Structure 1
């Protein structure tokens, strides 16, 4: 195989720092071991000069020689002078006849990676955290959060061990999440999971299904980036101008109107997460009964003493997979907990 040599071209300077910087770049490239040789040369003041080094590496048996100018933008040096120097030396040495290929690259240019370097330097001057420093900080926070979650689970599991033992294995992550969210072991016995709920929910998430939520509190608790990995999107209609108009026309609640609009826009094969409004649940129940909606899964956890318990029992009576919190207790955080448990299972199944 022909030997390859990459040569970095610097301008040259009276200051030693100039040459040292180019040499450091070359040394970094050498450590990456992508090329047989990495050398440096200069246009003026410093040695070796371009013609001198070209002749030397040819004598050393290099057959593919690539010159890269370490300049930011095109100028007289890079566009005219360097190409002319290379052309003249190639002709003098008769490199074409010797089977030596000399190539000349573009200056560094406006590469995004250079912009990142500039950004980092500016942030340091301003005393702000750089991208890498932020990553380190966030990874530390994530590790701390993960440790806290593991510690919480080690406390929770003995408290709900009887329920977990009786539950199907796939239901356990949901039960644990719900108890973790509420800090109340009683919820282990209040969460009701349809036998097809986990399979349906995980399949819908992996298929990139729409996620319909009744309030922003639910959508805010779901990690949209994780959902988007599967091609899914989260929709909350509550603040839609059409909803406000429809609620006035029909003399109904905004939550019911929002669900009606979601049904009209199409929510077949979607996951509907209702964490706050019983009226949204009742609206969905009627649509399913009339054959107007066929969601893949309904998560219903409305809270309150007026209609909440009844709406969830209505959901549980449908021929649709469901997860509910029985009774008046519930809330948006529980709808989020159930969904995130399913999302975690979908990621595990997908190997993410």
Structure 2
């Protein structure tokens, strides 16, 4: 049996693995202790390579090391499916609890950092009192509630200054274009979750391509009426961009209904094949629509100029988005399960807003 030294072992695994990381994984119990040569060198086998590659792959998918150890502890000869699924469900609940706790902390920080300048005087007073507060006692918690009440009392004095809040809360985006920064800001405002900014993905030419085709009056295709209704029809009318709905049924209003309708009625799938070359697809609900779009693009059956792919779902939607990001077409998406019709429409509206000032909401009717 061929054996490898620790240096050869890390090279075979790849992924930036180092001997120091290997020794760390031994200490954590993720890797079994290797056999030793007569000179006391660690010797590894191909089985060790495969195990460490699996550890690296799971880590890249976001699993924590203690979770990975539990997954690897399930013996192959056991009925692993039920056991592993139970473990993953337990881990998921633990992670969701951690996210909930972090979300509470984030909300408290947002409540302080997101205050605009008109609140700064009382905010400074609250921060000064916060340093003196014993939050571990019941009295302290009551005092904290009073501080928040005092701070919140100022919100009735003026409208919220969203730009000031986002300037403090959003990550550093100086390397991105002004249009891209504005798009991400609008997405955050549409859902109220600052963390969304880290999951927005745009292809290299997404912005430039969208501006070109929108100025030329391209066709806009939304997956369901709810998404189409959220589009900025006033600006689109001024640009000469017609809006079409793929699943053209006013009774379809949810992701569940959209997914079911697209699969059950062949006419919607056939309609997808008929979209105009150079159109912009806006998909906010049905993951199967995005999957079909990616397949049709790959088979050169349709040629959209841009795909805004933000369907909702927990298995098909993330997979559809990954396929979109691997396609050759310009795209804008949000990684993972996050998405929705409002977010998809917000993206298109931000792109359109970058091209044309808000016109009189009825002036285009006089020219129709």
Distance 1:315 1:258, change over 3 A: farther
Give deviations 1:97-131, integer Å, cap 9, x for gaps: xxxxxxxxxxxxxxxxxxxxxxxxxxxxxxxxxxx
- Cα distance between partner residues in 2 of 1:258 and 1:234: 19
Q: From the CA coordinates, give the structure whose radius of gyration is larger.
A: 1
Q: Name the count of aligned residue pairs.
A: 194
Asked if residue 318 in structure 1 is aligned to residue 327 in structure 2, the reply is yes
Specify which of 297, 300, 306 is matched with residue 288 of structure 1.
297
Aligned to 1:254: 261
Give deviations 1:145-198, integer Å, cap 9, x for gaps: xx96x8212212221142x22323331111111111011110111110111011
Give deviations 1:14-33, integer Å, cap 9, x for gaps: xxxxxxxxxxxxxxxxxxxx
> Shift in Å at residue 259 of structure 1?
5.3
Q: Is the 8 A contact 1:214 1:258 kept in 2?
A: no
Aligned to 2:170: 160
Give deviations 1:243-262, integer Å, cap 9, x for gaps: 9xxxxxxxx94235565333
Q: Is the 8 A contact 1:153 1:180 kept in 2?
A: no
Which has more strand, going by share of residues?
1
In the TM superposition, 1:291-306 aligns within 5 A as 291-306=300-315
In the TM superposition, 1:98-117 aligns within 5 A as none
Q: CA RMSD in A?
A: 2.7
In the TM superposition, 1:161-240 aligns within 5 A as 161-162=171-172, 164-239=173-248
Q: Normalized against structure 1, the TM-score is what?
A: 0.51
- Cα distance between partner residues in 1 of 2:318 and 2:312: 8
> Shift in Å at residue 332 of structure 1?
0.6
> Shift in Å at residue 237 of structure 1?
2.7
Specify which of 260, 272, 287 is matched with residue 281 of structure 2.
272
- Cα distance between partner residues in 2 of 1:155 and 1:259: 42
Structure 1, unmatched stretches of 5+, are 1-146, 244-251
- Cα distance between partner residues in 2 of 1:258 and 1:346: 34
> Shift in Å at residue 219 of structure 1?
0.5
Q: Is the 8 A contact 2:201 2:332 kept in 1?
A: yes
Structure 2, unmatched stretches of 5+, are 1-157, 253-258, 360-368
Distance 1:259 1:267, change over 3 A: farther
Give deviations 1:275-295, integer Å, cap 9, x for gaps: 011000011111100101110
- Structure 1 residues 276-285 or 299-308, which shifts more? 299-308
Aligned to 1:54: none
